[in-house]
């Protein structure tokens, strides 16, 4: 049997392991076993406590309680080996994230495992219309939360150059917590979102801290997940409360132009590296540095790829950067050019774009790109 025809076996919990949730659609906090044989024929072995719920929440899967294989003083690997043997499995493919200790124990039980780096990558990358709609639904909530944050910033008086809320300085930590609670109350998780004011925003993944000042760029990057569907959205906007400085306005104009150029080039079949290079060309023409393979990152300018795939994980295939990926039906990607300067901070604008199964390019983001909050 060729490797591609081997059954797929995975053992994990599904709250954090997106592959396990993708295979089963079953949310479980404890590790369980799933076996995919042929065309989506699933067998799932779970704890007896979860067997009833698994039967209700999965479709077309055979649910087997672990007690069927449990014997006195039997280890978990022995139990799992019994499950595999019961289905005639002596060879299986596993995902790169498969537990190493369990793999070695299963091999000691006579089960041969082969790691398949691409096991689910292509399948998860190729989104259905239903999955695209799931991402879009999270994106709508993300926009509502971003608008809440903008309105809050607009309503803050300024004292000594610092935004005030309820008689106290408004901090990045406070704004972040307000947005995360706003998400949570509506059925979404958004952990470690970015509110990066001022010069610290020159580090693209700085979460942000301290008082928020008027007149400086504030990078807000939100990447929530629907607690039920498990699909993510991702959106960044940059705001300045009051008038932006000349350098920040120039950075913002350049980022908008770069994003427009990327959008214009997103057509079915285009190499995503070409889209990334077009973004870099805009920045170079405007006098900013860009990443150069083998030479590291510039001290001032564009410091990352143009985008990434989005779905059950916040970062998944494909990548909008150097590489061989081609924009293909079912792709959902971010387009997020940014510029960073330690003298002033950062500017990033991020939208989510989908290529539907029938070849239509859709920008799932409907939020404006205004910089100044006046």
Q: What is the CATH number of the domain that holds 50?
A: 3.40.350.10
- For residue 312, pLDDT over 90 is answered with yes
Same domain, 184 and 215: yes
| Overall average pLDDT of the 88-111 stretch | 95
Q: Examine the fold and report which residue of 119, 154, 179 is the final residue of a domain before the chain moves on.
A: 119
Confidence of residue 196 (pLDDT cuts 50, 70, 90): very high
CA R_g for the chain:
24
Burial class (CB in 10 A: 0-12, 13-18, 19+), 205: exposed
pLDDT number for residue 30: 95
Q: Examine the fold and report which residue of 71, 100, 119 is the final residue of a domain before the chain moves on.
A: 119
How many CB atoms within 10 Å of residue 27? Answer: 16
- For residue 291, pLDDT over 80 is answered with yes
Same domain, 71 and 151: no
Percent of the chain predicted with pLDDT > 90: 89
Model pLDDT for residues 235-280, shown as the tens digit of each residue: 999 999 999 999 999 999 999 999 999 999 999 999 999 999 999 9
Q: Examine the fold and report which residue of 96, 119, 142 is the final residue of a domain before the chain moves on.
A: 119
Confidence of residue 72 (pLDDT cuts 50, 70, 90): low
- Please state the pTM of the whole predicted model: 0.94
Q: Give CA–CA dist 54/24, Å, rounded.
A: 9
Show the domain range for 11: 3-119
Confidence of residue 73 (pLDDT cuts 50, 70, 90): low
Same domain, 346 and 331: yes
Is the backbone peptide bond immediately before 278 cis, with ω within 30 degrees of 0? no
Same domain, 155 and 304: yes
Model pLDDT for residues 168-183, shown as the tens digit of each residue: 999 999 999 999 999 9
Same domain, 153 and 246: yes
Same domain, 50 and 194: no
Check: CB of residue 330 under 8 Å from CB of residue 126.
Answer: yes
pLDDT number for residue 37: 92
- For residue 1, pLDDT over 70 is answered with no
Give whole-number Cα distances, 279 to 12, 268, 340, in Å.
Answer: 39, 18, 15
Same domain, 136 and 110: no
Distance of CA 184 to the CA centre of its chain: 18
| Overall average pLDDT of the 184-208 stretch | 96
Same domain, 105 and 132: no
Model pLDDT for residues 351-373, shown as the tens digit of each residue: 999 999 999 999 999 999 999 99
Q: Give CA–CA dist 223/314, Å, rounded.
A: 7
From the list 92, 99, 100, the residue with the least C-alpha distance to 116 is: 92
Same domain, 226 and 115: no
Check: CB of residue 335 under 8 Å from CB of residue 262.
Answer: yes
| Overall average pLDDT of the 193-205 stretch | 97
Give whole-number Cα distances, 113 to 42, 90, 92, in Å.
Answer: 18, 8, 5
Same domain, 95 and 139: no
User: Which ranges in 126-271 belong to alpha helices (H)?
Assistant: 129-154, 172-184, 246-265
Overall number of domains in the chain: 2
pLDDT number for residue 118: 87
Same domain, 88 and 197: no
Same domain, 364 and 226: yes
CATH number of the domain that 232 lies in?
3.90.230.10
pLDDT number for residue 2: 53
Confidence of residue 41 (pLDDT cuts 50, 70, 90): confident
Percent of the chain predicted with pLDDT > 70: 98
Mean pLDDT for all residues in the chain? 95
């Amino acid at each position: 049997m060729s490797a591609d025809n081997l059954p797929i076996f995975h053992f994990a919990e599904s709250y954090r392991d997106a592959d396990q949730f993708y295979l089963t659609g079953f949310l479980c906090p404890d590790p369980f076993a799933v076996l995919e044989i042929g065309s989506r024929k699933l067998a799932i072995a779970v704890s007896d406590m979860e067997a009833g719920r698994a039967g209700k929440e999965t479709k077309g899967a055979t649910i087997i309680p672990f007690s069927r294989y449990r014997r006195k003083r039997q280890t978990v690997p022995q139990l799992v080996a019994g499950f595999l043997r019961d289905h005639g499995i002596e060879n299986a493919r596993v995902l790169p994230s498969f537990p190493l200790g369990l793999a070695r124990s299963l091999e000691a039980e006579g089960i041969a495992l082969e790691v398949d780096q691409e096991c689910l990558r292509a399948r998860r990358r190729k989104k259905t219309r239903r999955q695209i709609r799931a991402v879009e639904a999270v994106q709508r909530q993300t926009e509502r939360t971003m608008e809440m944050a903008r309105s809050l910033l607009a309503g803050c008086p300024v004292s000594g150059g610092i935004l005030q809320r309820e008689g106290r300085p408004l901090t990045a930590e406070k704004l972040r917590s307000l947005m995360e609670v706003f998400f949570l109350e509506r059925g979404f998780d958004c952990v470690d979102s970015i509110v990066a004011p001022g010069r610290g925003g020159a580090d693209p993944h700085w979460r942000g801290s301290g008082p928020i000042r008027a007149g400086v760029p504030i990078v807000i990057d939100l990447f929530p997940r629907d607690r039920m569907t498990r699909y993510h959205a991702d959106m960044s906007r940059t705001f300045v409360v009051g008038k932006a400085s000349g350098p920040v306005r120039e950075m913002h104009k350049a980022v908008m132009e770069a994003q427009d150029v990327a959008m214009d080039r997103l057509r079915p079949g285009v190499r995503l590296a070409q889209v990334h290079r077009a973004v870099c060309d805009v920045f170079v023409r405007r006098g900013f540095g860009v990443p150069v393979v083998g030479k590291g990152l510039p001290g001032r300018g564009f410091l990352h790829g143009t985008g990434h795939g989005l779905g059950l994980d916040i970062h998944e295939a494909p990548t909008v950067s150097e590489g061989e990926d081609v924009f293909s039906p079912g792709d959902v990607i971010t387009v997020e050019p940014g510029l960073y300067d330690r003298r002033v901070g950062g500017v990033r604008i991020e939208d989510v774009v989908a290529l539907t199964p029938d070849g239509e390019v859709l920008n799932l983001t409907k939020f404006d790109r205004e910089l100044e909050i006046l």
